[in-house]
Amino acid sequence: MQGIIGVFRELDSTVDAVHALRKLRAGDIGIYSPAPRHELEHILHHEPSPVRLYTLIGGLAGATFGYWIPIWISDYWPLVVGGKPIPSWVPYTIISFELMVLIGSLATVAGLFVHARIPRITMTVGYDPRFSNANFGIWVECPPERQAEVMTTMREHGATEVRGER
Amino acid sequence: MATVARPDERARALPPNIPEANIQLPGVDQYQQVTDEIARTLYPTGAWFAGLGVAVVCMLIGLGAWMWQVYMGLGVAGYSPPVMWGVYIVTFVFWVGIGHAGTLISAILYLFRAGFRTTIYRCAEAMTVFAIMTAGLFPILHLGRPWKFFWLVPYPSWRLIWPQFKSPLVWDVFAILTYLTVSSTFLYIGLLPDFAALRDREPRPLRRHIYGVLSLGWRNTEREWRHFARAYLFLAAFSTPLVLSVHSTVSFDFAMANTPGWHATLFAPYFVAGAIFSGIGMVFTIIIPIRRWFNLKHYVTLNHLDAAAKLCLFTSLVVGTAYLTEFFIGWYGGNEIEQSFWWNRVYGQWWWAAWIMLTCNVVLPLTLFWQKLRRNTTWLFTLSIYINLGMWYERFVIFDPSLAHEFEPWQWTAYWPTYVDWAILLGSFGWFAMWFLLFIKNFPVVAIAEVKEVVPPVLRVARPVEGIEVTGMHLEFEPETPGERD
């Protein structure tokens, strides 16, 4: 993986630089920001996060399991009282609800990990410690022959530092 | 959302009122400032070591008392039939309740977009996790053979015996474990970007490595933020019904029993409101010293405290209404046993406990109708101590008089906690304080990334970008409210 990384101080400079780099079609663009910003989210026009599907599937699985385990246990050791059905749906709903929340939450975290690609073992390429503090950043993954024009574009749009990394 | 007041606007003396929950941070205007000032709280001081020492000593006193109880048996805990639930169940419910305000502030107020939560939610969330860790000890402490606690968990044992899923005590196990897991997850996920910020500025190699591992390689990319925001939203959405269900489930421990004073459908909402009320009290107890000692008054402003005090007042009114409803139903229901019980609760052997409860939880919080008192940190801190006291006594008044004054007059008895009970209660505060003190010196007490969201970013030229007003903020300009700079 090789490309160009640019450090920006201003938010609007970063947005302008991304617009210009998109027109350049030099390679995949990644943006860094110390805090989530709608402006940066909008310019890349990504699809909505699929994490919600993990939440839905995890929640449904948890609710199903939460009903299944007490029902199975009731049937496994049946105690017939007054001729009533052995499983008691109403109290089992509490177990089902709790497991829906538990499994749904853990599935949501799993979705975050999968799609945000964390945990990440190495972070030497395409990152600068200033991005978690006060600076914005742009990473363009591009071949050596396109790097010069990418660097020029970043500088034109106010990058305080531009460098190649591999 | 924060913004900077224009001088001409600032000159106009506005009444210190907050029309909405969107409280701003005029004393904070740069990302760098946010990271530096919040990270500065991570260096231990002499006072912190002293506090930690006191907490550990208190915890050891509680641990010693528990070991004595294990050696001697539960008789040293002051039980006398039919009162077989005493200080331990009272303290269990007290600590579960303390945890609820954390989730309310971090999750429910997040869904409602209440801006005043931004700078106080981290402390409240940590408080939740440690309060649940403390609460979870008490059912185990209450066991004659505590090493058999895992019998409550459904696992395939060789005896082929499973827990009784119709029992509220088993519901409790599921509710508390789920609450602890989800609260811890919510806290940790929210900390990820802050761990990355600390990793990138930490000069000490060992701490940098630890923060690096804890941050999971977080890089602040747009991709990470996008999925993070969605995951955080769903975790908040799950935590919201969870917080309501957990204390409802705890209330079922009592409401399912046919005992005077317990067998009421009011219990679930009554317990939830009381839990949130007590938790907000504990938030004040914690956050007011922290903002003072760590010099964070421009992050946790008087406006934040004012808004939280309004929430405190509201929940106090709900709790007061629940008390009155209980008394009314006791009288209006026409059941002699209930009427006798209620008379005993207010004028019987524990009359003083009932009146402590009513004074601390209903009468004193009425002072929060006055704005001057809502913005007086000394009064808020003092009131929070009274609320903690009152809410502990509320649980005492609910549980023990009921057991001591059941259906048969010959069974009526007295109960008074022993030194073992008091020592374990003290130990629980030491345990909670120890974890909290360790937290505030190793993790940021204010959410760095979320505060940066409300701080205007640096712009080259103020102008709209991508259809969003980038004058620094997403929201329109709002004038500064007096008191924000404290």
pLDDT for residue B468 is more than 50: no
In which band, very low, low, confident or very high, does the pLDDT at B486 lie, cut at 50, 70 and 90? very low
pLDDT for residue B474 is more than 80: no
Q: Closest-CA residue in chain A for B202?
A: A129
Chain A residue numbers with beta carbons less than 8 Å from the beta carbon of B452 are 34-35
Strand A28-32 versus strand A3-8 pairing type: unpaired
**Which has more pLDDT, B20 or B302?**
B302
Residue A138: C-alpha distances to residues A2, A128, A155, B216 (Å)? 13, 10, 12, 21
* % of chain B beyond a pLDDT of 70: 90
Most distant CA atoms of chain A, gap in Å:
84
Contact B201 A117 (CB under 8 A): no
Contact B226 A106 (CB under 8 A): no
Residue B431: C-alpha distances to residues B42, B180, B417 (Å)? 21, 16, 20
Q: Is A162 strand, coil or helix?
A: strand
pLDDT for residue B2 is more than 80: no
Residues B396-447 pLDDT 10s: 999 888 888 888 888 888 888 999 999 999 999 999 999 999 999 999 999 9
The C-alpha atoms of residue A19 and residue A38 are separated, in whole angstroms, by 15
Contact A30 B223 (CB under 8 A): yes
Query: Global pTM?
Result: 0.90
The C-alpha atoms of residue B153 and residue A103 are separated, in whole angstroms, by 17
How far off is chain B from A101, nearest CA to CA, in Å? 6
Among the partner-chain residues B197, B230, B460, the one whose CB lies closest to the CB of A132 is B197
What is residue B465's predicted lDDT score, i.e. its pLDDT?
A: 54
The C-alpha atoms of residue B403 and residue B185 are separated, in whole angstroms, by 38
Q: ipTM value, please give it.
A: 0.93
The C-alpha atoms of residue B221 and residue B215 are separated, in whole angstroms, by 13
Contact B160 A77 (CB under 8 A): yes
Task: Give the count of alpha carbons within 13 A of B178, CB side only.
Answer: 32
Measured between CB atoms, does A102 come within 8 Å of chain B? yes
Residues of chain A with pLDDT under 50: none
The C-alpha atoms of residue B127 and residue B279 are separated, in whole angstroms, by 9
Say if residues A29 and A5 touch (Cβ distance below 8 Å).
no
Among the partner-chain residues A39, A40, A105, the one whose CB lies closest to the CB of B238 is A105
Measured between CB atoms, does B203 come within 8 Å of chain A? no
Angle at B411 between CA B410 and CA B414, to 5 degrees: 115
Q: What is the mean pLDDT of residues B103-125?
A: 86
What ranges in B333-471 are assigned the alpha helix state H?
Answer: 336-347, 351-358, 371-374, 377-404, 419-442, 448-453
Residues B136-149 pLDDT 10s: 999 999 888 899 88
Q: Which of A133, A140, A156 should be substituted to probe chain B, the one whose Cβ sees the most B Cβ atoms within 10 Å?
A: A133
